[in-house]
Amino acid sequence: MVLLPGRPRGRQGAWAVKALVLVSLVALVGCGQGESVSGHGEAQAVENHISHSNASARAIPEMRWPRNRIAISVDRPWARKAGKVWSNRLPISFVYGKRGMIKFGGYQQRTGKVGWAITQFIGSEIISCTIYINPAYLNRKPIDKTFAHELGHCLGMNYHSKGKGLMSRFAKTRKISKSTIKYLRSKYK
């Protein structure tokens, strides 16, 4: 259960907390991109622990952004390059350098993870996503490719695709598989 500071007390407060717990979840997607076992790791903000080794992708509700125009907090050439990977193939667009929906959390070290994304959603609506990049891999993995991969998770891709495409566990290429495009197009019509 998530404990919120200053939450209401009594019957109304108990109902509000139960509703919040039922409709919100924070999913942490850590991508090893070939360096480790990847998938959902332990979420630090809640007590839910979801792992691909013990839960299917169906354990997480289908989710998407409420609009097809999505703000990304960072405005760097590598972020724009990563965004174009998706906006060229899906009916979505990005606004760069604006506060809001997708945040770049910065560079943090995490053993065996090239990058990871923390997605918060209520029901089936994504309300925020934060991407982190491990600086230990910057000399081996292009930041735009890692950011594009994590951006895919921020768009609602809750699992890794098969093969060698951008959303595969190993992300060998920048190419997005047909099945990934079909899956995300079904969300962003």
The two three-digit tokens of residue 57, written as one number = 């992708």
Q: Compare 158 and 157 and report the one with higher pLDDT.
A: 157
Q: Is 9 exposed, middle or buried (0-12, 13-18, 19+ CB in 10 A)?
A: exposed
Q: Compare 39 and 183 and report the one with higher pLDDT.
A: 183
**pLDDT band for position 31 (50/70/90)?**
low
Host H or E run for residue 182:
helix 178-187
CB atoms inside a 10 Å sphere around CB 67:
11
**pLDDT band for position 9 (50/70/90)?**
very low
Question: Region 56-61: what's the mean pLDDT?
Answer: 48
Give the bridge partners for 121, in sequence order: 25, 126
pTM exceeding the 0.85 threshold for the entire prediction? no
Mean pLDDT over the full length of the chain: 74
Question: Region 156-177: what's the mean pLDDT?
Answer: 87
- How far, in Å, CA of 155 to CA of 153, rounded? 5
pLDDT, tens digit, 9 for 90 and up, residues 92-132 = 999 999 887 999 999 999 888 899 999 999 989 999 999 99
Q: Which residue has the tokens 């990934």?
A: 180
Distance of CA 3 to the CA centre of its chain: 23
